[in-house]
A and B are shown apart, each in its own frame.
Chain A
Amino acid sequence: MNTESFAQMAFWILVGLTFAGAAIAVFPRNILYNVLGLALALSGIGGIYLFLGSFFIAMMQLLIYVGAITVAIVFAIMLSRPLHLEIPKRAVPKVAMAAAASFLFFGAILGVLFRTQWTPATERGTDWSVETIGHLLLTRYDLVFEVISLVLLVAIIGAIVTAGFTRRLSS
Chain B
Amino acid sequence: MNSLGTYLFISAALFSLGLLGVLQRRNLIGMLISIELMLNAANINFMAFNRFLAPEPAVGQIITLFVMSLAAAEAAIGLSIILALFRMMHSINVERAQQLKG
- Residues of chain A touching chain B, judged by Cβ–Cβ distance below 8 Å, are 7-8, 11, 15, 18-19, 22-23, 25-26, 31, 34-35, 38, 41-42, 45, 48-49, 51-54, 56-57, 60-61, 64-65, 68-69, 72-73, 75-77, 79-82, 85, 88, 90, 94-95, 97-99, 101-103, 105-106, 109-110, 113-114, 118-128, 132-133, 136-137, 141, 144, 148, 151-152, 155-156, 158-160, 162-163, 165-167, 169-170
- 4 nearest interchain CB pairs? A98-B23, A155-B73, A121-B55, A159-B80
Interface residues of B: mostly helix, strand, loop or mixed? helix
Given contact pairs A57-B65, A61-B68, A105-B19, A48 touches B10 in the complex (Cβ within 8 A): yes
CB distance from B3 to the nearest CB of A (A): 10
Question: Count the A-B residue pairs with Cβ separation under 8 angstroms: how many?
Answer: 228
Residues in B with CB closer than 8 Å to A19 are 13-14, 17
* Total interface residues in chain B, CB < 8 Å: 75
In contact, B92 and A80 (Cβ under 8 angstroms): yes
CB distance from A12 to the nearest CB of B (A): 9
Interface residues of A: mostly helix, strand, loop or mixed? helix
Given contact pairs A88-B93, A98-B24, A106 touches B62 in the complex (Cβ within 8 A): no
- Residues of chain B touching chain A, judged by Cβ–Cβ distance below 8 Å, are 1-2, 4-5, 7-10, 12-21, 23-27, 29-30, 32-34, 36-37, 40, 43-44, 47-48, 50-59, 61-62, 64-66, 68-77, 79-84, 86-88, 90-93, 95, 102
B69 touches which of A57, A94, A106, A148 (Cβ 8 Å): A148
In contact, A133 and B58 (Cβ under 8 angstroms): yes
In contact, A69 and B82 (Cβ under 8 angstroms): no
